[in-house]
Amino acid sequence: MPELTLREAIRRGLQEALDQDPTVFLMGEDVGAYGGAYAVTKGFLRQYGPERIRDTPISESAIVGAGIGSALGGMRPIVEIMTINFSLLAMDQIVNHAAKLRYMSGGQFAVPFLIRTVTGGGAGLAATHSQSLEGWYASVPGLKVVFPSTPYDALGLLRACLKDNNTIIYCEHALLYGVRGEVPDAYYEVPIGRAEVKRPGRDLTLISYGRGAHLCLQAAGELAKRGVEAEVIDLRTLRPLDLETPLASLRKTHRALIVEEAWPRAGIGPYLAMRLHQDAFDYLDAPIAHLAGADTPAPYARNLERLALPDVPAILRAVADNFGL
């Protein structure tokens, strides 16, 4: 099976959409002549022309507002917000309009609108460019939020998103674009709202998404050297949230650690922990544990930023401290 990077998998999905559906167009800051801030759309302007690949002014509210309007008008826009931090400038458009218009119109209008954005820390970009705000959007009724961690999932989820008639936040971690993985030539999709067991285990469940899923897999490898078999679950979608997959794992392992980069009060982890406690309390041998980013703005200094984000040693410490494993 051929291998692609996560960047290449997203490019492939975008090209498929542009080739197959004339209502699809891309819009955002530097997506055209510059080729995208992370080179995902490099060469697209030359290939598809300025009608399909539209460079925009530096105004996130205008970009998202134009996307909403074109979606209501029968188009299927894909908007790139350079980082999720900048989406704060379009919060009203995303939360009060894109997320609610289908509901407030009684289903008369749909907003088939995909917002691609980069999230997460670790790149040394300081406090206002290194935030993980995907959990905020996952709290909003009317939005869907997906977060692939592998090239396979990136392409499969993108295909599913482009068949969905809702507004979807498609998150891409800044440090995962170069991750390689097998991607079949045959067509496939990854369903929205379905988590995946990335590694089976019997003693402990590690639950994460995005870059955190890779850290959990590395930690599971270290735990295996101690004779501890950790099951790793990649949520893949934060809204709708798959509860059955982690619940089934928890009923088997009786312990769970949720790992995410977001602040401890702002991520999906606290809600997931509450639901697991509520729905699987009788199966627990210990309380659900949660490992998040530090409750502080992201430091600019690389050595301090590393201390503020979960890593493999932090996961191993959390496992030892909470479960004695």
Question: Could you say which of 8, 29, 129, 260 is catalytic?
Answer: 129
Distance between CA atoms of 39 and 14, rounded to whole angstroms? Answer: 13
| Residue 123: Cβ-neighbour burial (10 angstroms; 0-12, 13-18, 19+) | middle
In the chain the beta strands, taken as DSSP E runs, fall at 3-5, 24-28, 53-55, 76-81, 113-119, 143-146, 167-173, 180-182, 196-199, 204-208, 230-234, 237-239, 256-259, 289-291
Assess whether 129 carries a catalytic annotation.
yes
Q: In angstroms, what CA-CA distances link 136 with 40, 176, 269, 284?
A: 25, 21, 12, 28
Q: Which residues contact 303 (CB under 8 A, 6 or more apart)?
A: none
Q: b/e map of 245-267 (b: 16 or more CB within 10 Å)? A: bbbbbbeebbbbbbbbbbbeebb
Distance between CA atoms of 286 and 249, rounded to whole angstroms? Answer: 14
Question: Could you say which of 8, 29, 60, 80 is catalytic?
Answer: 60
Q: Taking a C-beta distance cutoff of 8 angstroms, is the pair 207, 149 a contact?
A: no
Assess whether 196 carries a catalytic annotation.
no
Backbone angles phi, psi at 27, to 5 degrees: -150, 140
Question: Can you name the residues that pair with 81 across neighbouring β-strands?
Answer: 117
Q: Taking a C-beta distance cutoff of 8 angstroms, is the pair 77, 71 a contact?
A: yes
Distance between CA atoms of 274 and 27, rounded to whole angstroms? Answer: 38
Helical packing angle, 211-224 and 312-323, nearest 10° = 60
Host H or E run for residue 217: helix 211-224
Closest CA to 215 of 321, 313, 106: 313
Q: Taking a C-beta distance cutoff of 8 angstroms, is the pair 89, 128 a contact?
A: no
Query: Which residues participate in catalysis according to the annotation?
Result: 60, 129
